[in-house]
């Protein structure tokens, strides 16, 4: 591994071979089986993304001592690789993984947050920042190894693209804006993100560097944010306005459409989309906050109603989906759903409940 590494933190990977292939979308809701990936006391320290092979990445707890790690389970067993923190730092995290097993992430030093690409064979390669900046974070990597994210410093936050051939490039912004963040890149190098304007945040699409398209908001809303783009160029995210926050799907054919909320809800956010057009995220409902999957045929479905077997938790947020239809979803103990952060922390101290956990859902058909 790299010579400038120290205490053990960082990247968690698990290979899940031999999983069932994903079928065609139908009007019938999909059912799922669930496997616990990892349970942690702080969900920000758990798995965050997966690729089409079922490899899961995230970060280990900063409280682990050197030599310890997170147990990550799948149906195929456990396989884990860990990245150590950079010299002078105590933190590293992974945010994206492609099907080649290349991982994009970030680690801190005494004065900076350094983005990097990691491979099993080559170790860590630092991604340079824009001139004058001291922090950066990659958020997505495509099959070509191209990485998007942001670079920040005294002059603000700028969306960037990094490639092995051209290095780091600022993506550009809308007129009058000095803040932009890239959120996702597809295999055609189309990039989505968010730009701040005088009228509010706007979802944008970069077809090429410097070519930025404002995708707008849902009718009547004041701001929007993109979260993901698939290889068809379909974009998901959420739009905000007087009626609240709503998940959206944008396509070139239909523009931006409202995906709605679960029954009894008033809030939803779309967080990822696969190449089949399945959208996942979180929505409030008459029962509280719930994870959802949306398809063109079946609409928005509560993932808690889609399980073949009860796993004893409530799924509150789905944050990643791959082309097999596998979904990473966060589960919470039933009694803690709807609690404030302060009340939940007190409940943990007094009652010592099971920690929050991330589950890998796999389509049963």
131-148 burial, b at 16+ Cβ within 10 Å, e below that, comes to: eebebbbbbbbbebbbbb
Can you tell me the distance from the alpha carbon of 182 to that of 192, in angstroms, rounded to the nearest whole number?
Answer: 6
Cβ neighbours of residue 58 under 8 Å, at least 6 residues apart?
Answer: 11, 12, 38, 45, 46, 47, 48, 49, 93, 94, 358
pLDDT category at 336 given cuts 50, 70, 90 is low
Of 182, 184, 163, give the one whose Cα is nearest residue 171. 182
pLDDT of residue 66: 29
What is the DSSP pairing of strand 180-185 with strand 268-273? unpaired
Beta-carbon neighbour count of residue 89 at 10 Å?
A: 21
pLDDT at 3 over 70: no
Residue 247 pLDDT grade (very low, low, confident, very high; cuts 50, 70, 90): very high
Q: What is the reported pLDDT for 84?
A: 55
- What percentage of the chain has pLDDT greater than the value 90? 55
Most confident residue range from 26-40, 79-93, 144-158: 144-158
Q: Model confidence over 49-75: pLDDT tens digits? A: 889 988 888 765 433 222 222 233 333
Mean pLDDT value of segment 103-116: 84
**Side-chain half-sphere exposure of 156, counting CA atoms within 13 A:** 13
Instruction: Give SS3 for 227.
Output: strand
For residue 355, list its beta bridge partners: none
The yes-or-no verdict on residue 79 having pLDDT over 80 is no
User: Residue 191: beta bridge partners?
Assistant: 185, 206
**pLDDT tens-digit map of 268-327:** 999 999 999 999 999 999 999 999 999 999 999 999 999 988 888 999 999 999 999 999
Task: Indicate whether 44 pLDDT > 60.
Answer: no
Average per-residue pLDDT in the chain? Answer: 80
Give residue 86's pLDDT: 56
Per-residue confidence band for 197, with pLDDT thresholds at 50, 70 and 90: very high
Rounded to an integer, what distance in angstroms lies between the CA atom of residue 290 and that of residue 220?
A: 26
Phi-psi region of 210 (alpha: psi -120 to 50; beta: other; left: phi over 0): left
**pLDDT at site 109:** 76
- Residue 206 to residue 320: CA distance in whole angstroms: 22
Out of 19-23, 133-137, 192-196, pick the least confident. Answer: 19-23
Note whether 176 and 197 are within 8 A (CB). yes
pLDDT of residue 77: 43
CA 170 to chain centre: 22
Contact present, 224 and 263 (Cβ < 8 Å): no
More confident residue, 205 or 48: 205
pTM of the entire structure?
0.83
Beta bridge partners, 140, equal 148
Q: In 3-state terms, what secondary structure has residue 279?
A: strand
**Tokens standing for 282?**
């979180």
Instruction: Supply the pLDDT for residue 333.
Output: 78
Of 16-30, 54-68, 202-216, highest mean pLDDT? 202-216
pLDDT of residue 159: 97
């Amino acid at each position: 591994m790299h010579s400038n590494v120290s205490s053990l933190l960082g990247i968690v990977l698990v290979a899940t071979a031999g999983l069932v292939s994903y079928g065609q979308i139908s009007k019938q809701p999909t059912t799922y089986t669930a496997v616990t990936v990892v349970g942690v006391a702080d969900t920000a320290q758990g798995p965050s993304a997966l690729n089409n092979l079922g490899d899961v990445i995230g970060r280990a707890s900063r409280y682990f001592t050197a030599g310890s790690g997170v147990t990550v389970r799948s149906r195929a067993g456990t396989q884990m690789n860990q990245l150590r923190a950079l010299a002078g730092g105590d933190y590293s995290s992974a945010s994206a993984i492609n099907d080649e097993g290349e991982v994009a992430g970030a680690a801190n030093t005494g004065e900076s947050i350094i983005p990097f690409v990691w491979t099993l064979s080559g170790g860590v390669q630092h991604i340079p920042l824009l001139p004058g900046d001291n922090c950066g974070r990659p958020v997505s990597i495509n099959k070509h190894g191209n990485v998007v994210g942001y670079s920040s410093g005294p002059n603000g936050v700028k969306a960037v693209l990094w490639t092995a051939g051209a290095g780091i490039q600022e993506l550009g912004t809308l007129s009058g804006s000095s803040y932009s963040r890239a959120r996702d890149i597809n295999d055609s190098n189309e990039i989505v993100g968010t730009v701040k304007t005088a009228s509010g945040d706007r979802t944008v699409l970069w077809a090429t560097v410097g070519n930025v398209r404002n995708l707008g908001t849902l009718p009547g809303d004041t701001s929007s944010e993109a979260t993901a783009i698939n290889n068809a160029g379909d974009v998901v995210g959420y739009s905000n306005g007087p009626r609240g926050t709503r998940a959206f799907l944008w396509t070139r054919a239909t523009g931006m459409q409202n995906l709605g909320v679960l029954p009894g809800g008033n809030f939803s956010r779309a967080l990822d989309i696969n190449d089949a057009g399945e959208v996942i995220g979180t929505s409030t409902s008459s029962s509280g906050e719930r994870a959802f999957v949306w398809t063109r045929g079946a609409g928005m479905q509560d993932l808690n109603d889609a399980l073949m077997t009860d796993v004893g938790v409530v799924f509150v947020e789905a944050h990643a989906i791959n082309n097999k239809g596998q979904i990473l979803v966060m589960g919470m103990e039933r009694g803690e759903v709807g609690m404030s952060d302060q009340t939940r922390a007190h409940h943990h101290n007094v009652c010592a409940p099971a920690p929050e956990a991330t589950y890998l859902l796999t389509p049963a058909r």
